[in-house]
Structure 1
Amino acid sequence: MSHDSPPVRRLADWDHDRLGRLAAEHGTPLYVLDVDRVAENYERFASAFPDAHVMYAAKAHTGRAVLSKLLDTGADIECAAWGELQRAIDAGADPDTLQYTAVNPPDHDLDYAVDLAEDNPGLTVTGGARDTFDRLEARGYDGRVAIRVNPGIGTGHHEKVATGKDAKFGIPYDQVPEVAEDVAEGFDLVGIHAHAGSGVLHDDLDDHCRAIGKVADMGRKVETEVTPLEFVDFGGGFGVPYREDEEPLDMQVVGEKVRDAVGELDAQIKLEPGRYVVADAECILTEVNTVKETPAATVVGVDASLATLIRPAMFGSYHPIRNVTAPDREAEPVSVGGPCCTSADVFCTDRPIARPEREDLLAIGNAGAYGYELANQFHSQPRPAEVAIEGGETRVVRERETLDDVTSLER
């Protein structure tokens, strides 16, 4: 890893001239991905946990450019759905190294995983309900499994991502030993798994480590009372600063805190960063089309929308916004929104930005995690193109959709 790789990339750190050229060449809205930054973030994380098995949580960004780069960097891949398993394999992953974390898996997902495991017995299936193990058994599967534990402690940037206390995720903590005994009789029980939440920064770190400690305790209990384990997987959840005044995590310090929380453990520690690896490696470029002065606000209309980036509408998420065309223009409070016919289609309200004018180019930062993954076609808007920067070169890694693409499956 480059020793001058900063722990966070701010919007001001992007090459504005290059962003302007990319927007002129490829149009807007446009996702711009720095593939080298993805690798730097993964390596920084992995260096903080030298004794752990670090897997990338594919759900944060399943683009082939991301998956291929991480595989080249030495990462393994954790998948939450059958499509992610297939995309990881298409990107070059060895199926024997994959881990599939099943959450209320549809029949098709389980069928796919069981079929995949027939020729790739190294595949690990994680179940978070007794039903999942019953359904695997009914399919004749008796291979590698892990039990997802619900530690009863949720952390993260929003209640909708505090999975550690959401009954949807995992076996209730006190039921795990009994379930482990049953599972160990019919499967190769190799690990337990948990994920407390997402977007964890300084204020949530102590609670996050408390959840990690509970999961480690359960790992020791299962090893003592049921069977030796290959790993205890503590998930991901480590955040990045979306706001300009937030400081990034010192991953070396985080590594020490996690090791203290885990304590002595015979099984290997496994971690699954997703957001941390990709969030600040991508931004969205969007063009201003409307500037409207009203008594309530100065409204700036852009061609990106909640179809391009839904996180502000879905979670109330903050994403930094910068005027790429004129970053030194005097800042004024503005509200920036897109063309969708809903009040939810707003990226910020009364935020000081270098005053936008029509045809200015704006950049929306920290769009790499759950950005394109949640892009949609609301209002029949084709999804944007995505270009990748790697080694100084730029290439299109996802073509811009057309309206024919949007309607291609209609009959």
Structure 2
Amino acid sequence: MTGSSPAVRRLSDWDHDKLLTLADEYGTPLYVLDENRVRANYRRFTKAFPDAHVMYAAKTHTGRAVLSTLLDAGADIECAARGELQRAIDAGADPNTVQYTAVNPPDIDLSYAADLGTDNPGLTITAGAQDTFDRLAERGYNGRVAIRVNPGIGTGHHEKVATGKDAKFGIPADRVPEVAAAVAEQFDLVGVHAHVGSGVLHDDLDDHCRAIESIAAIARDVEAETGPLEFVDIGGGFGVPYREETEPLEMDTVSERVRAAVGDIDATLKLEPGRYIVADAELILTRVNTRKETESATVIGVDASLATLIRPAMFDAYHPIRNVSAPDRGDESVSVGGPCCTSADVFCTDRPVSQPERTDVLAVGNAGAYGYELANQFHSQPRPAEVAIDGDDHRVVRRRETLADVTKLEQ
């Protein structure tokens, strides 16, 4: 699974014999993470943006194996919650290199970040509301901060991730200079931040670059009000092709367009890729337990569910599916679903898959981004194990939960 590093990794590129061995050894459903692919994706991204400061967006996948792999590769970490800050530090991140991007932070989160920043003056706290800055001041914090702005333009694969036009995120563009002037009097204002959406591909680039132009213009207005900024952070959002027919982004071209959109500014460009780094570095293995033929559909029941991967139910997201036990048996149109008692527990409908039979192992691709992060215990299902591959070696990086784990917090 090493070899070259194409811009996208399809399910057919994985070593099927290796995957079947892992399914037999560790059971299913099973998350399989390829650490080499994580490194390769990070190297490709940083090569496209050699002068930028690249921070991995931890919310995409906070697994220790992912965080440690990226820290070893030289990445810094951006966190959106207290737990992510703690997990990044536990994985080896220097708190002075971490950025905390607060979105309506609970008191416990904000107090943790303020204390951490006071003890580690290199940490940066990003806030998207005047109220959050007031709460930081109440806690005695006067360190490094950035202002999250709302450019009024959202992009991405689904309306639920188009954060750039959602009032929940950031300070409206027309109010930013006024807020910046007040913030600069109380804190060390070092940057402007925005994240306009997620899953950006070719058709979204025009809107994405328009949003970046707006962010850069806001940053120039802030500099005119308060003086030079250290960085302008345009977030992440760069997508990967989930569908087989979609071409991957050409990152050198993307870099040129982003630089042109940013324009003339002395501040360092900061980016926070997440999905681009980990999406195609992980898949889910699931075993067929039921085959049912009806007049309307051939239904294939598997042991993975929306508790394993909720994105299809939550975002109507497409994930490629491949029969790794028998990839050449001949395609048939099937619906694949799990054991949860809801019609939402479906990975695909009327999808051509090499004819699945009971005990076959299917792979569900592009599960690295918001896969395990959104895994849950619906129907009292223990969450799956996760195995990391590194070249010819593999190891369990997250054990399979038991029913005792599911119930252990109950009194």
**What TM-score does the superposition give when structure 2 sets the normalisation length?**
0.99
- Show CA shifts across 1:78-97 (max 9, x none): 00001000000000000000
2:185 paired residue number: 185
Displacement, 1:3?
8.9
SS of equivalent residue, structure 1 residue 322: strand
The corresponding residue for 2:344 is 344
Range moving further from structure 2, 25-34 or 113-122: 113-122
Aligned counterparts, 1:1-400, within 5 A: 4-400=4-400
Say if 2:8 and 2:240, in contact at 8 Å, map to a contact too: yes
Is contact 2:54–2:273 with CA below 8 Å preserved after alignment? yes
The 3-state SS of whatever aligns with 1:47 is helix
Measured in 1, the distance between the counterparts of 2:280 and 2:293 equals: 32
Query: Counterparts of 2:75 and 2:55 in 1: how far apart (Å)?
Result: 6
**Which whole-Å CA distance do the structure 2 matches of 1:117 and 1:272 have between them?**
20
Q: How far apart, in 1, do the equivalents of 2:107 and 2:39 lie?
A: 35
Q: Give the counterpart letter for 2:233 in structure 1.
A: D
Is the 1:34–1:282 contact (alpha carbons within 8 Å) kept by the matching residues of 2? yes
CA distance in 1, matches of 2:217, 2:66: 34
Is 2:192–2:233's contact at 8 Å kept on the other side of the alignment? Answer: yes
Inter-partner Cα distance in structure 2 for 1:152 and 1:351: 37
Q: Distance in 1 between matches of 2:329 and 2:198?
A: 35
The alpha-carbon deviation at position 231 of structure 1 amounts to 0.2
The alignment partner of 1:224 has SS state of: helix
Hey, what's the Cα distance between the residues in 1 that align with 2:263 and 2:390? 39
Q: Which amino acid aligns with 2:312?
A: P
- TM-score, length-normalised on structure 1? 0.99
- 1:403 maps to 403
SS in 1 for 2:152: coil
SS at match of 1:145: strand
3-state SS of the aligned residue for 2:285? strand
Calculate the aligned-residue CA RMSD, in Å.
Answer: 0.8
Partners of 1:231 and 1:138 lie apart in 2 by: 26
Local SS of the residue matching 1:347: strand
CA distance in 2, matches of 1:23, 1:299: 22
Equivalent-residue separation in structure 1 for 2:306 and 2:183 (angstroms): 43
Query: In the alignment, residue 92 of structure 1 is paired with which amino acid?
Result: G
How far apart in 1 are the matches of 2:332 and 2:27?
26
Runs of 4+ in 1 over 2 A off after TM superposition: none
Q: Is the 8 A contact 2:180 2:225 kept in 1?
A: no
CA distance in 1, matches of 2:378, 2:274: 26
Query: Which is further off, 220-229 or 134-143?
Result: 220-229
Flag structure 1 segments of 5+ consecutive residues without an equivalent: none
Counterparts of 2:3 and 2:122, CA distance in 1? 35
CA distance in 2, matches of 1:306, 1:77: 28
Secondary structure at the residue paired with 1:112?
helix
Q: Secondary structure at the match of 2:125?
A: strand
User: Alignment identity in percent?
Assistant: 78
The residue type equivalent to 1:285 in the other structure is: L
Shift of 1:227: 2.1
The one-letter amino acid of 1:20's match is: L
How far apart in 1 are the matches of 2:252 and 2:336? 37
Distance 2:264 2:173 in 1: 20
Letter in 1 for 2:38: V
Indicate if the aligned counterparts of 2:232 and 2:267 stay in contact, CA closer than 8 A: yes
Query: C-alpha separation between the residues in 1 aligned to 2:115 and 2:24?
Result: 46
Letter in structure 2 aligned against 1:374: L
Deviation for aligned residue 1:220 = 1.1
Q: Is the 8 A contact 1:194 1:233 kept in 2?
A: yes
* 1:175 CA displacement: 0.5
User: How far is 1:119 from its partner?
Assistant: 1.5
What is the aligned length? Answer: 410
Cα distance in 2 for residues equivalent to 1:248 and 1:27:
32
1:184 touches 1:227 (CA, 8 Å); kept in 2?
A: no
215-224 or 88-97: which moved more?
A: 215-224
2:217 and 2:21 mapped to 1: Cα distance?
53
The Cα of 1:309 is off from its aligned counterpart by 0.1
User: What is the distance in 2 between the residues matched to 1:392 and 1:331?
Assistant: 31
Deviation at 1:4, TM superposition (A): 2.7
Cα distance in structure 2, aligned partners of 1:324 and 1:226: 58
CA distance in 2, matches of 1:269, 1:315: 30
